[in-house]
Amino acid sequence: MSRGISIEALVDAVEAARPRPSVVVPTMSAVHPYVARGLSPWDFAYLPSSMGQAVPFALGVALGRPDLPVCALVGDGSLVMNLGCLSTATEAAARNLRIVVVRNGVYQVTGGQAVVGGEAVDLVAVARGCGLPHAWRLEDGADPVVALRALFAADGCALLDVPVTPVDDAPPARSPGPAAARFERWRRRLVGDPPEGDA
Ligand SMILES: Cc1ncc(C[n+]2csc(CCOP(=O)(O)OP(=O)(O)O)c2C)c(N)n1
Ligand SMILES: [Mg+2]
């Protein structure tokens, strides 16, 4: 398998490619780089280790705000644990849902154990098989910003599988606090009622 790009490079590429406004839901090993670079008030980084929840959560947001692109950054181990969310996304016809698979081959935030099924599991094929209209892999050497722009521009729900380099010393996936207050500000922004002082 290719060594992939760093998680920081992936996050930089998502930030370069995303339309604005849009909602990004970083989870697992994507949380730390998002928090480190300063979280956008549109983004939801409060699912740092709830396996399987990134896509269902983003799907709910996408259905609630069909005018906004909504992009989940999901761990490969987490997606493998909850593949049914892909057929649910098809059933819900969430045209504005975008899924970026952080395919590092490991459960990075819990110490780097190998993901069940390993490279034998082809998540692009699974996504297509579940009816997603678009699913691609970032090929070796391809520009991630170009691929992510294509992901956001796709006509309908789309998934991009991104090989990411695992590391030996991943920082813990910790959300910024206080979570309840941050969540409420985020929720009010999303429903069009931002708290006073929020842009
Ligand atoms: C049912 C369940 N089992 C185990 C865990 C513990 N756990 C939290 S995050 C995680 C690893 C997530 O790996 P992956 O989704 O591949 O994300 P990465 O850290 O590699 O980005 C594990 C095993 C959990 N939250 N839920
Ligand atoms: Mg992983």
Q: Could you give the number of structural domains in the chain?
A: 1
For residue 54, tell me if it sits in a domain.
yes
- The Cα–Cα gap between 52 and 74 comes to 8
For residue 199, tell me if it sits in a domain.
no
- Ligand 2 centroid from CA 47, angstroms: 15
* CB 165 less than 6 A from any atom of ligand 1: no
Q: Which residue has the tokens 């049914």?
A: 84
- Residue 199: pLDDT band (50, 70, 90) is low
For residue 165, tell me if it sits in a domain.
yes
pLDDT in tens, 101-145: 999 999 999 999 999 999 999 999 999 999 999 999 999 999 999
Rounding to the nearest 10 degrees, give the CA dihedral for residues 82, 86, 89, 90.
Answer: -150
For residue 195, tell me if it sits in a domain.
no
* CB 106 less than 6 A from any atom of ligand 1: yes
Residue 2 has pLDDT above 70, yes or no: no
* CB 54 less than 6 A from any atom of ligand 1: no
Closest ligand to residue 29's CA: 1
Which residue is closest in CA terms to ligand 1's atom 16?
77
Residue 128 neighbours by CB under 8 Å, 6+ apart = 135
For residue 64, tell me if it sits in a domain.
yes
- Ligand 2 centroid from CA 69, angstroms: 24
Q: Which residue has the tokens 């300063």?
A: 38
- Residue 60: pLDDT band (50, 70, 90) is very high
Q: Which alpha helices (DSSP H) does 95-193 contain, by range?
A: 123-129, 144-153, 179-190
Element (H, E) at 72: strand 70-75
Closest CA relative to residue 76, chosen from 33, 44, 124, 43: 124
For residue 196, tell me if it sits in a domain.
no
For residue 59, tell me if it sits in a domain.
yes
Which residue is closest in CA terms to ligand 1's atom 18?
108
Q: Which domain holds residue 134?
A: 7-190
Which of 78, 81, 104, 106 for mutating ligand 1's site (highest number of atoms within 8 Å of CB)? 78
Residue 188 has pLDDT above 80, yes or no: yes
Which residue is closest in CA terms to ligand 1's atom 17?
75
Note if the pTM is more than 0.95: yes
Residue 196 has pLDDT above 90, yes or no: no
- What CATH number does residue 113 fall under? 3.40.50.970
What's the whole-number average pLDDT of the chain? 95
